[in-house]
């Protein structure tokens, strides 16, 4: 299908880009763990908690904001994966990487790659962030008030958990769907244009 084959320098550049994107996904995962640790540190009491008092809106606010930040980091990782697929699909279509061709076939079968463990970690971190105010209130024997903050946290936390689960395990909002087909269409257009130029050259002669 493809007559215009990328050079060895092109292939090397693409592989370097793929590795860089993989490293970025790892850094985003590491950053999410850092955010989790920071949030827990900020919510730990500096003084002895008063039993029977309200937990306060600050705990809920910190958890809500942190949950949104964790989701944002996950979305960035999701987009980074999509960019990886653009690069790897090009190598598959141009048949310049045996590994990527085999890996594409492998992914068609049930497997447990990098995306699912990463998603599981983000789900765990977000779940712990959402649960922390409730655990804190239980241990310190405090009231879960204000109730508006509590219900907002539950709503936001559950919504983001569901979204991350669907994106990571059910391939909802999968950004790389159709990428290979797009590359194939581009290559078909290239071949048609080349055939057209060849035909025009023959007619001129």
Residues 178, 182: Cα–Cα separation, whole Å: 6
- The DSSP symbol for 143 reads B
CA distance 76 to 71: 9
Count of residues in the chain: 205
The string of pLDDT tens digits covering residues 111-158 is 767 899 999 999 999 999 999 999 999 999 999 999 999 999 999 999
Q: Give the C-alpha distances (Å, rounded to integers) separating 28 from 31, 165, 195.
A: 5, 17, 46
What is the DSSP code (8-state) at residue 204? H
Burial of 157 (0-12, 13-18, 19+ CB in 10 A): buried
- pLDDT bucket at 202, cuts 50 / 70 / 90: very low
Per the CB < 8 A criterion, the answer to whether 80 and 24 are in contact is yes
- Residue ranges of domains in the chain: 8-204
pTM of the model as a whole: 0.86
Percentage above 90 pLDDT, the chain = 58
Q: How far, in Å, CA of 124 to CA of 164, rounded?
A: 11
In Å, the largest CA–CA distance within the chain is 96
- The predicted pLDDT at position 103 comes to 86
pLDDT digits (tens, 9 = 90+) for 184-201: 888 776 765 665 555 555
- Residues near 35 by beta carbon (within 8 Å), at least 6 away in sequence: 66, 69, 70, 73, 125
């Amino acid at each position: 299908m493809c007559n215009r084959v990328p050079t060895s320098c092109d292939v090397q550049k693409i592989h370097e880009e793929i590795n860089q994107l993989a490293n970025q996904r790892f850094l985003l995962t590491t950053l999410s763990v850092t955010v989790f640790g920071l949030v827990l540190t900020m919510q730990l009491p500096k003084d002895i908690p008063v039993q029977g008092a309200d937990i306060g809106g600050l705990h809920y606010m910190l958890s809500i904001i942190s949950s949104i930040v964790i989701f944002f980091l996950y979305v960035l990782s999701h987009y980074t994966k999509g960019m990886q697929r653009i690069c790897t699909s090009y190598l598959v279509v141009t048949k310049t990487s045996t590994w990527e061709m085999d890996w594409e076939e492998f992914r068609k079968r049930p497997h447990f790659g990098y995306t699912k463990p990463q998603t599981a970690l983000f789900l765990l971190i977000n779940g712990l962030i959402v649960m922390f105010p409730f655990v804190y209130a239980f241990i310190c024997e405090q009231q879960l008030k204000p109730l508006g903050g509590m219900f907002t946290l539950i709503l936001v936390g559950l919504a983001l958990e569901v979204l991350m689960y669907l994106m990571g395990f059910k391939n909802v909002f999968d950004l790389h769907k159709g990428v290979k087909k797009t590359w194939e269409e581009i290559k078909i257009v290239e071949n048609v244009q080349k055939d057209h130029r060849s035909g025009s050259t023959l007619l001129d002669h």
